[in-house]
Amino acid sequence: MKRNIVITGGAGFIGSHVVRLFVNKYPGYNIINLDKLTYAGNLANLKDVEDKPNYKFVKMDICDFDAFFKLMQDEKVDGIIHLAAESHVDRSIKDPFTFAKTNVMGTLALLQAAKLYWESLPEKYEGKRFYHISTDEVYGALSMNHPEGIEPPFKTVASSEGHKAYGDDFFYETTKYNPHSPYSASKASSDHFVRAYHDTYGMPTIVTNCSNNYGPYQFPEKLIPLFINNIRNRKPLPVYGKGENVRDWLYVEDHARAIDVIFHEGKVAETYNIGGFNEWKNIDLIKVMIKTVDKILGNPEDHSLDLITYVTDRLGHDARYAIDSTKLQKDLGWEPSLQFEEGIEKTVRWYLDNQEWMDSITSGEYEKYYADMYKER
Ligand code: NAD
Ligand code: TYD
């Protein structure tokens, strides 16, 4: 079947993996990568697919309602996979307005343009889909009532060796929204608008909430690529607070596969949580990264431990995220494919092998931004 699909934010980290998957897997689809190319957008992420006949790049701001409405008409768009967003919590703390503008108003512009275009067609919403990609951070923070870790109730392929849970609660699809950071507040607001377009106008929408992603092409302001690069360059590793916060990590290609399954087979108006049951305290994860980088670079064991630098904690730093993705596994048969230690090694090797990609980003303004941001304790 021919489909005309817009993937917003396709030049970013997760979006580029989704674009690559769709372009390669569905030669009969027309895949339109719509991206404003902010600091986080990088077309070098998609060099391997840019010449494919079923791929097109359009530089556009999702807040530009008129331009997007015209694109819907010109391309006869029947599916939208919406990833474009401001995505970094630390930036949202410094500049919440940009987050509200892109994440809330931008999502609303896409919804309204899609509504007007699809409602103008004889078949209206039939065969259409608006799929909004969101985060588990909208649920707020879970308690750390088992700081030493307990046997978790669930496990997947992604769960690390000796996998532990650090609390006895998880984020479920039914968990009440309780966002804390400006980033998660803006994502929560956009999720509500997407659901409102289903409930009010009958638009066929889907929302998914995913845990922290890691893998190639992630902008090096986020923990994993930043730290891999700093270890390689013998630079300090700024650990916020005591490094006790817990995140639940999923390999980005597993997220992209989930998006593919849900886009095609997910039930309209449903929410699916995506995650691999793979909780890590930041400091433990950082030690795994140090071990892996040192091993690959041929350094003595724990050579880079001295780079760990405890810095002032992030404001409102959420203690623990841990997602229950049982519904997705049961209803649609999705499972993560990669074990965490394998995924981390693969990721470290990718960043070390693609130094040019990293250098093209880290030379310049970005470094200055970080110099201003962190003060050693
Ligand atoms: P990213 O910051 O790497 O990429 C975002 C992309 O959106 C960039 O290419 C950027 O140029 C584009 N963009 C930003 N503002 C835009 C605008 N106004 N118009 C058009 N394009 C714009 O983000 P990511 O980590 O790939 O996250 C993608 C999506 O997945 C986001 O919606 C994020 O909330 C969600 N998410 C991310 C994670 C994660 O761990 N990274 C986890 C769960 C959900
Ligand atoms: P990040 O990658 O920014 O993702 P998120 O805030 O969306 O979870 O951060 C992951 C964790 O690592 C989070 O608990 C904050 C912490 N962190 C640091 O300790 N130092 C850093 O330099 C960064 C970027 C993050």
Query: Looking at residue 364, what is its pLDDT?
Result: 60
CB 15 within 8 A of CB 31: no
Query: Looking at residue 372, what is its pLDDT?
Result: 53
Please identify which of the residues 61, 137, 191, 253 carries the catalytic annotation: 137
Tell me the mean pLDDT in the region 68-94.
98
| Residue 376 binned pLDDT confidence (cut-offs 50, 70, 90) | very low
Question: Which candidate, 193, 4, 181, places its Cα nearest to that of 89?
Answer: 181
As beta bridge partners, residue 308 has: 237
Cα angle 293-366-241, degrees, rounded to a multiple of 5: 60
Tell me the mean pLDDT in the region 257-268.
98
* Ligand 1 site, residue 83, Cβ cutoff 6 A: yes
Per DSSP, the three-state class of 356 is helix
CB 126 within 8 A of CB 77: no
Taken in order 64, 51, 216, 274, the sign of the CA dihedral is positive
Please identify which of the residues 139, 183, 214, 272 carries the catalytic annotation: 183
Tell me the mean pLDDT in the region 182-211.
98
Best of 6, 7, 8, 13 for a ligand 1 pocket test (most atoms within 8 Å of beta carbon): 13
- Ligand 2 pocket by Cβ (under 6 Å): 89, 212, 222-223, 226, 238-240, 245, 247, 282, 314
Low-confidence winner among 22-36, 168-182, 360-374 (lowest mean pLDDT)? 360-374
246-251 and 279-281 strand pairing: antiparallel
Q: How far, in Å, from the CA of 63 to the mean position of ligand 1?
A: 14
Query: Looking at residue 50, what is its pLDDT?
Result: 96
| Residue 152 binned pLDDT confidence (cut-offs 50, 70, 90) | confident
Tell me what the pLDDT averaged over the chain comes to: 95
Q: Which is the closest atom of ligand 1 to the Cα of 250?
A: 40
**% the chain with pLDDT above 90:** 91
Cβ neighbors of 200 (< 8 A, separation 6 or more) are: none
Q: How far apart are CA 277 and CA 166, in angstroms?
A: 11
Query: Looking at residue 374, what is its pLDDT?
Result: 46
Q: How far apart are CA 170 and CA 178, in angstroms?
A: 14
* Ligand 1 site, residue 46, Cβ cutoff 6 A: no
Highest mean pLDDT among 6-10, 146-150, 372-376: 6-10
HSE-up (13 A, CA, CB side) for residue 174: 3
Query: Looking at residue 368, what is its pLDDT?
Result: 54
| Residue 33 binned pLDDT confidence (cut-offs 50, 70, 90) | very high
Cα angle 250-29-251, degrees, rounded to a multiple of 5: 5
Q: How far apart are CA 9 and CA 233, in angstroms?
A: 30
Tell me the mean pLDDT in the region 37-41.
95
What structural domains and CATH numbers belong to the chain? 4-371 (3.40.50.720)
Q: How far, in Å, from the CA of 88 to the mean position of ligand 2?
A: 9
Looking only at Cα atoms, what is the longest distance across the chain? 68
Q: How far, in Å, from the CA of 376 to the mean position of ligand 1?
A: 29
| pLDDT over 90 at 293, yes or no | yes
| Residue 153 binned pLDDT confidence (cut-offs 50, 70, 90) | confident
Q: Indicate if 248 belongs to the active site.
A: no
Q: Which is the closest atom of ligand 2 to the Cα of 181?
A: 6
Query: Looking at residue 155, what is its pLDDT?
Result: 85
Tell me the mean pLDDT in the region 63-80.
98
Q: How far apart are CA 204 and CA 47, in angstroms?
A: 32
Query: Looking at residue 363, what is its pLDDT?
Result: 79
Residue nearest atom 4 of ligand 2, based on CA coordinates: 222
Low-confidence winner among 63-72, 123-132, 143-152, 326-335 (lowest mean pLDDT)? 143-152
* Ligand 1 site, residue 91, Cβ cutoff 6 A: no
Q: Which is the closest atom of ligand 2 to the Cα of 314?
A: 15
Tell which wins on pLDDT, 271 or 373.
Answer: 271
In the numeric block, the tokens 């039914």 are attached to 174
Tell me the mean pLDDT in the region 105-128.
98
Q: Indicate if 136 belongs to the active site.
A: yes
Q: How far, in Å, from the CA of 134 to the mean position of ligand 1?
A: 10
Tell me the mean pLDDT in the region 254-275.
98
In the numeric block, the tokens 């950071």 are attached to 181
Q: How far, in Å, from the CA of 85 to the mean position of ligand 1?
A: 4
Low-confidence winner among 4-18, 90-104, 155-169, 324-338 (lowest mean pLDDT)? 155-169
Query: Looking at residue 377, what is its pLDDT?
Result: 31
Cα angle 62-64-67, degrees, rounded to a multiple of 5: 105
Neighbours of 235 (CB within 10 A): 15
| Residue 162 binned pLDDT confidence (cut-offs 50, 70, 90) | confident
Which pair of structure tokens corresponds to residue 88? 């970094």
Strand ranges, E, within 223-338 = 237-240, 246-251, 271-274, 279-281, 308-311
Which pair of structure tokens corresponds to residue 90? 């630390």
Query: Looking at residue 145, what is its pLDDT?
Result: 93
Q: How far apart are CA 20 and CA 314, in angstroms?
A: 34
Residue nearest atom 17 of ligand 2, based on CA coordinates: 223
| pLDDT over 80 at 282, yes or no | yes
Burial of 25 (0-12, 13-18, 19+ CB in 10 A): exposed
CB 66 within 8 A of CB 110: no
Q: How far, in Å, from the CA of 367 to the mean position of ligand 1?
A: 20
In the numeric block, the tokens 């609390």 are attached to 167
Tell me the mean pLDDT in the region 262-282.
97
Query: Looking at residue 163, what is its pLDDT?
Result: 86
